[in-house]
Structure 1
Amino acid sequence: MFHCPVNTTVGRGVMPSVKLALDHVNEHDSVLRNYRLHMWWNDTECNAAVGVKSFFDMMHSGPHKLMLFGAACTHVTDPIAKASKHWHLTQLSYADTHPMFTKEAFPNFFRIVPSENAFNIPRIRLLQHFNWTRVGTIYQNEPRYALAHNRLLVDLDTNGFLIEETQSFATEVKTALAKLKEKDVRIILGNFNETWALKIFCEAYKLEMYGRAYTWLLLGTYSNKWWMRRAPCSKRNLTTALDTAILTDLLPLSTTGEMTVSGITAKDYQVEYDRRRGTEYSRFHGYTYDGIWAMALAIQTVAQRVKLKYKEKTVQDFRYRDKEWEQLFLDALSNVTFEGVTGPVRFYDNERKASILLKQFQGDEVGEVKVGEYCAERDHLDLASGDTFKWIGKNPPKDRTLRLIEHTQVNITIYSVLVSCSVLGILLATGFLAMNIHYRNQRYIKMSSPHLNNLIIIGCMLTYLSVIFLGLDSSLSSIGAFPVICTTRAWLLMAGFSLAFGAMFSKTWRVHSIFTDVKLNKK
């Protein structure tokens, strides 16, 4: 016997699987023999006040309930989990993934569905698969996403990743995205709900943070065709920015084909569930089915232990607020192990290591497609169970801008030709300088300002000489000589140009002054 608070939206889709599980448990020959499992349920309407009232009403009416199953909404699960602890009642949730429900804070709370923390390692294994070691993160500043993000940072650091930038947002995302782009973050891990996902990818389109240079890895768990909802940009822009994004999600049912504890396969269960559910559907239906089985097996274990320890007692003698009964149920549920329709079921610190679905958005026409699975029980990434990844370009994006430093050398042939020309120019200038000094008293040379001519020639010689130093590289000189060479380059070229151009300008100014002198003698 157990109490099941459900919410209206999820409840209608899971009730067929609950009833199916109860039928299978009660029909099974070796499970709870001589007992019949019953469920008392109520609709919490996803309202904390309604949920708590329903809980207390059901605790004070009818026979004692052995365990508590639910709820789905966090703001309902939280107060009920706190209340059930004081009743020493073991609780199992089939749909609440909030990471705040830890064993330390809620020792009586278990969940058959993986929490948000469980979606970190699959993304890390993908990063390792594609050799991405430099990443950035962005998360919604709410407890559900912030707590999972904190755990993500720890997991990334433990696995040796470089976290280049971490950004959070509360009311707008443009600033956070701009900082990620400024840091040249190419691989972005995002933790946010689908409403913000629409806004983020619209903004990413404006900032050109998409295409062959970027990859987004999202926490996911969004509703079916969530990108079709109204967004702050056009559908075309949204799907363009979203293209090739990778999302994690709950794996609805196991794909291994293993026989489950109830004697049927996951496919057989799917057929029976579809036959019973009508138009209602919940993504948690498989976890609900396995949750009922986990509780049934736990109750059976308690019944066996009570029978061995207290021959005069049975589970019908269960009482609330009894620590001994509480510990019996906690131990029994902690040690439950079986093959369920969602995969292997076993609890680690009151949480389950479930399989995670990996999806990729491959364009507006195709939408989200399965590209793989991650089995947390075996820490195995299986990319052969889905379609191939789609990339814009031939290969996956790089996690950083590659900066290649190439050591280039001056072509020795070209350098030899230029040095020869420079030496020839220096020799020619030396000849002109000697001629100018030797014939400085000749009338024509004297009239051309020989001293300025000397400065022009010396400037040209220094400029020619700078060509020799400018062409020197590490193959023609030692690394230690480069400080002197670099200084010499600058001074030779600067001094040569200054002397040659300065002297030439002085000569030009002298001629200008002569021809513009207005004080002419007239005869």
Structure 2
Amino acid sequence: MAMSFGTRADTRILRLLGLLPLNGESWNGGRSCLPAVQMALEDVNAQSNILQDYNLTFKYVDTECTSGMAIFRMFESLNVDPPYVMVLGGMCSVASEATAEVTYLWNLTQFSCGSSSPVLSDRKRFPRFFRITLPDQKHKTARIDLMRAFDWKKVATINQALEFFSAVIDDFVREVQNTEITVISQEIFENDPLTRVKNLKAYKVGLYGPKIVWIFFGWYSQTFWRNNLQGFDCGEEEMSAVVDGSFITEEAYKNPKEERGIANMTASEFEHRFYNYHAYDRKYESYNFVAHTCYDTIWVVALALDCTVREMDQRGYAKTLDMFTYADADVNDIIFDCMSNTSMTGVSGSVAFTDSDPDKIIEIERIQDGKREPVGLYRQDKDPSYFEWIEDAIRWKDGIIPRDSTYVRYEEIGIPPTLFITMTSLAGLGSALALSFLTFNIIYRNNRYVKMSSPNINNVLLLGCILSYCTVFFKVTETSSGTLCKVRVILFSLGFTMTFGALFSKTWRVYRIFTNKKLLKRTIKDYQLLAIIGAVVAVVLVVLIVWETIGPHMVETKYLPKDIYLIGNDAEVYPYVRVCLSEYSEYFAWILYIIEGMLLTFGAFLAWETRHVQAVRTNKVSSDDQAMSTRITTVGGNQTSELDANKPRSISQNIESN
């Protein structure tokens, strides 16, 4: 089908060829575009200051929104009809791609009022193509700035493996790589996204809620999440839960500002006139969103052609624009340059071009309470671009802006203050008591009864207790100092060795005297016991020095994954503890275990062997060596006999003085 209109007598005619999708099974948006084009032609031809002495005419053919039909009917018109100065269309991306690859061969500039395919931005492939509709890749800046506005620095993408979608996502990813935003995943599927996001069942896999913000293109239907759910095991309620809070970036098809543009009409005034226009058919009202851009398309063309007429006059061309032929490459260059530099404000908003694409206002919508609601504008038509938010339009869940990922908070599990205070108080009390005993031993060291208790050995025992008590005060759970770890290990090891070494040395002395079956006088002096204690302590000290030299103790953080818990919807708390560790702990610790274990085992043996010994009396004091002599006497009668092993035995300790 081919029709033309706009001709007026007694003027030079400039012919435009329109490629409109009017019929077919795909998209019939041309039905709403056609009345708007007719209105624009009437308004432009009525102007006396634009294209003076010229008259714009428009012939259109039905592309049926297919590449084959678009090519066929365009070729037919170009070969049969008088020359056209420009081609308008073809609204559908497939039709525009097919025709824009060849129109430049006729030295024609093509201008589309639709076609958002990103591939049409390729100047090498489509050298003479313009469009008034914002391509999908021009949304990338709005989306990146949207993420920055809410401090979102992580993004994942998913798209079908088609050139139309892949080009948009690839362009977005390239742009993001030059920012502080990180692309954590880029998923692509062919026909079934099951392997990527479980058939996009976001509700089933948990990809919804305050922690997940979806961003969609605006050309989806107003209730796309409720449509065509047959064959899915997600119901309308589940789908609504998934998309709730999602953002939508959409080209502003009509001027969001009530301002009068080149046609001296606001967007609202245009709509009123359009709905009452004689050629308007309400049967196609679902395509009404294209009417504003179709109307402005004619005005942009008129301004570009008016610029061309003036430029040809300035250059002194012998012929006028209505005499254009497909051999006039130089004239087409002027038309192309004028199109590139054309800018205006119309009923669809501000129109200006960057290469083949316009810089237009982007509407920001958000799905809230089950419907799409406008929340702001992205003024891409301004330099620099910026957001104009509608006050209080965004309603965040719980009044909190969601984070771009789960917020992780690390929480140290330390010793409870009450427990730490209790234990340090007890340790302090024990230390004070040990110090008081030590002071008593020193002050009354010459007292006969004190001397009988082997005060030198007792002092070593008390010092070992004090060292062990001191380890309680060194808390490594809330510090990063490795020195505290070293001090704690050394103090406890030496304190334990000194305490039990002193205790068992005294027991050993009793054992040696008790096992003296020949009843000989046996003297074991304190320095001998101190030498034994010193030897054991020296061995332990050597082990500790080698340990800290080869693999020193350091404070390390241990996380407790089994104890992770949530705070709200987007915060996780990771508990951790700080512990003292050494690279060779398992080796040196076992060495100490063996040494101390042998000490404890030997002490237990001595305790068992001397379990029946009783101290009976003391009668001598030795001040220098504090030697101990033992006289074993019978328990009853005047006769000396062998000790009965089955009865309690007695030891008379004489600590003599020189």
Question: Structure 1 pair 412/211, CA: closer, same or farther in 2 (3 Å)?
Answer: closer
Identify the residue that residue 247 of structure 1 maps to in structure 2: 248
Identify the residue that residue 333 of structure 1 maps to in structure 2: 339
Question: Structure 1 pair 351/416, CA: closer, same or farther in 2 (3 Å)?
Answer: closer
Identity %: 23
Greater per-residue strand proportion: 2
CA contact (8 A) 1:260 1:266 kept: no
- 1:484 matched to 2:498? The reply is no
Identify the residue that residue 106 of structure 2 maps to in structure 1: 87
Q: Matched residues in 1 for 2:470 and 2:116: separation?
A: 72
AA aligned to 1:350 is S
Question: Structure 1 pair 228/475, CA: closer, same or farther in 2 (3 Å)?
Answer: closer
AA aligned to 1:142 is L
Q: Matched residues in 2 for 1:406 and 1:369: separation?
A: 40
Question: Structure 1 pair 103/385, CA: closer, same or farther in 2 (3 Å)?
Answer: farther
AA aligned to 1:371 is V
AA aligned to 1:264 is M
**Greater mean deviation of Cα atoms: 251-260 or 92-101:** 251-260
Question: Structure 1 pair 248/478, CA: closer, same or farther in 2 (3 Å)?
Answer: closer
SS of aligned partner of 1:222? coil
Q: Which residue, out of 112, 120, 140, partners 2:140?
A: 120
CA contact (8 A) 1:44 1:51 kept: yes
Question: Structure 1 pair 405/494, CA: closer, same or farther in 2 (3 Å)?
Answer: farther
Unmatched runs of 5 consecutive residues or more in structure 2: 1-14, 23-27, 435-463, 486-551, 555-579, 606-658
SS of aligned partner of 2:319? coil
- 1:403 matched to 2:414? The reply is no
CA contact (8 A) 1:138 1:167 kept: yes
Q: Which residue, out of 64, 71, 76, partners 1:52?
A: 71
Q: Matched residues in 1 for 2:295 and 2:184: separation?
A: 42
TM superposition shift of 1:269: 1.0
Q: Matched residues in 2 for 1:286 and 1:477: separation?
A: 67
- 1:151 matched to 2:155? The reply is no
Q: Which residue, out of 398, 408, 411, partners 1:393?
A: 398
Q: Which residue, out of 140, 157, 163, partners 1:137?
A: 157
Identify the residue that residue 284 of structure 1 maps to in structure 2: 290
User: 1:370-419 deviations in whole A, cap 9, x for unaligned?
Assistant: 11111112143334347611222221111122223345654677435325
CA contact (8 A) 1:410 1:471 kept: no
AA aligned to 2:49 is S
CA contact (8 A) 1:465 1:492 kept: no
**Greater mean deviation of Cα atoms: 402-411 or 251-260:** 402-411
- 1:5 matched to 2:19? The reply is yes
Q: Which residue, out of 381, 387, 392, partners 1:377?
A: 381
Question: Structure 1 pair 314/396, CA: closer, same or farther in 2 (3 Å)?
Answer: same
Q: Matched residues in 2 for 1:361 and 1:412: separation?
A: 49
CA contact (8 A) 2:430 2:469 kept: no
Q: Which residue, out of 108, 114, 137, partners 2:128?
A: 108
SS of aligned partner of 2:111? strand
TM superposition shift of 1:91: 0.1
TM superposition shift of 1:14: 0.6
TM superposition shift of 1:225: 2.3
Question: Structure 1 pair 412/95, CA: closer, same or farther in 2 (3 Å)?
Answer: closer
Identify the residue that residue 643 of structure 2 maps to in structure 1: none
Q: Which residue, out of 449, 473, 476, partners 1:473?
A: 476
AA aligned to 1:122 is A
Matches within 5 A, 1:453-464: none
CA contact (8 A) 1:20 1:289 kept: yes
Unmatched runs of 5 consecutive residues or more in structure 1: 179-198, 429-460, 508-523
Question: Structure 1 pair 480/309, CA: closer, same or farther in 2 (3 Å)?
Answer: same
User: 1:402-445 deviations in whole A, cap 9, x for unaligned?
Assistant: 223345654677435325657999999xxxxxxxxxxxxxxxxx
CA contact (8 A) 2:427 2:472 kept: no
Q: Matched residues in 1 for 2:425 and 2:180: separation?
A: 56
Identify the residue that residue 226 of structure 1 maps to in structure 2: 224
CA contact (8 A) 1:372 1:387 kept: no
CA contact (8 A) 1:369 1:387 kept: no
Question: Structure 1 pair 418/315, CA: closer, same or farther in 2 (3 Å)?
Answer: same
Identify the residue that residue 170 of structure 1 maps to in structure 2: 190
TM superposition shift of 1:278: 2.9
TM superposition shift of 1:174: 4.1
Q: Which residue, out of 287, 297, 306, partners 1:300?
A: 306
SS of aligned partner of 1:36? strand
Identify the residue that residue 431 of structure 1 maps to in structure 2: none
Matches within 5 A, 1:20-39: 20-39=39-58
Work out the number of aligned pairs and report it: 448
CA contact (8 A) 2:21 2:63 kept: yes
